[in-house]
């Protein structure tokens, strides 16, 4: 079976920059897959693939992530659409790029399937990537840094329950700065989007910290009234 059109049509793909925080190593990681075919055979690349005709762009992104990395129901946000004529050596390919945030919660290297070779790379030890994926990834990283300051996306990188110190470290790792503990907490208190649970940290060899939860509903409500998240 084949499909014929009056004018030439580009192929359309989705590609995802999937980020996670590695709290042990204190750095930001991105998920890459090793290509099993030409071009760029054996090069590392962003997970992604062709958009099917019966699925929306975001559905395509979710499906490709599921197929190539096993990740499901993760935070996805459209980044940019790359359409330079020669970005793929074979033919015209337009790629809708997404950035994705996941919390690893211990399963740091579990995210590989039998089908494809997938691995987490820290951002300062990146291999050279296939196509223009290096550029896509660096623009995605920049976007993440920018967004972190004025949208509560950081919580997508944390487990459901987290401590205030974890949250602070997350910001410090991604933005590569350090915050004063008291001032950081003061700000969060005023933002008023955290729910203090009555649970505390387990299995730590020091005073256990209180666990908090991000109140998505409350945030949406505040946001719709013109409230401006900023950290």
Could you tell which of DNA, a copy of itself, none binds residue 71, using a CB distance below 5 to 8 A set by kind? none
Question: Token pair for residue 229?
Answer: 């998240």
Which one among 185, 213, 218, 222 touches DNA, defined by CB under 7 A? 185
Find all residues with CB under 8 Å of 141, minimum gap 6, and list them: 17, 19, 28, 30, 123
Contact between 209 and DNA (CB under 7 A)? yes
What is d(CA 140, CA 146) in angstroms, rounded to the nearest whole number? 10
Contact between 186 and DNA (CB under 7 A)? yes
Residue 55 CB coordination number (10 Å): 13
What is d(CA 83, CA 92) in angstroms, rounded to the nearest whole number? 8
Contact between 96 and a copy of itself (CB under 8 A)? yes
Contact between 207 and DNA (CB under 7 A)? yes
- Closest C-alpha to 140, from 225, 48, 25: 48
Site residues (CB under 8 A) for a copy of itself, limited to 18-57: 50-51, 53-57
What is d(CA 211, CA 44) in angstroms, rounded to the nearest whole number? 37
Q: Which stretch binds DNA (CB under 7 A): 52-60, 100-108, 163-171, 216-224?
A: 163-171
**# chain residues binding a copy of itself, by CB under 8 A:** 28
Which one among 10, 39, 89, 127 touches a copy of itself, defined by CB under 8 A? 10
Contact between 84 and a copy of itself (CB under 8 A)? yes
Could you tell which of a copy of itself, DNA, none binds residue 6, using a CB distance below 5 to 8 A set by kind? a copy of itself
Cα separations in angstroms, 120 against 22, 58, 161: 10, 22, 23
Strands 11-22 and 93-101: parallel
Instruction: Give me the residues that bind a copy of itself (CB under 8 A), please.
Output: 1-12, 50-51, 53-57, 78, 80-81, 83-85, 92, 94, 96
């Amino acid at each position: 079976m084949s499909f014929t059109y009056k004018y030439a049509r580009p192929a359309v793909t989705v590609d995802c920059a999937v980020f996670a925080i590695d709290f042990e190593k204190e750095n930001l990681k991105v998920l890459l897959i090793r290509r099993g075919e030409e071009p760029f055979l054996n090069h590392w690349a962003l997970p992604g693939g062709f958009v099917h005709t019966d699925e929306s762009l975001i559905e395509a992104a979710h499906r490709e992530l599921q197929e190539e990395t096993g990740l499901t129901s993760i935070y996805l946000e459209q980044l940019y659409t790359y359409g330079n004529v020669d970005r793929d050596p074979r033919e015209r390919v337009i790629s809708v790029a997404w950035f994705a945030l996941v919390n690893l919660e211990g399963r740091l290297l579990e995210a590989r399937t039998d089908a494809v070779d997938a691995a987490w790379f820290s951002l300062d030890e990146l291999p050279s990537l296939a196509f223009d994926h290096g550029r896509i990834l660096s623009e995605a990283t920049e976007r993440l840094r920018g967004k972190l300051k004025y949208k509560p996306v950081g919580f997508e990188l944390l487990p459901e329950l987290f401590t205030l110190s974890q949250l602070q470290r997350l910001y410090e790792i991604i933005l590569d700065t350090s915050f004063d503990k008291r001032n950081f907490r003061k700000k969060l208190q005023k933002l008023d989007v955290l729910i203090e649970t009555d649970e505390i940290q387990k299995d730590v060899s020091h005073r256990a910290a209180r666990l908090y939860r991000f109140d998505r509903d409350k945030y949406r409500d505040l946001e719709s009234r013109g409230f401006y998240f900023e950290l």
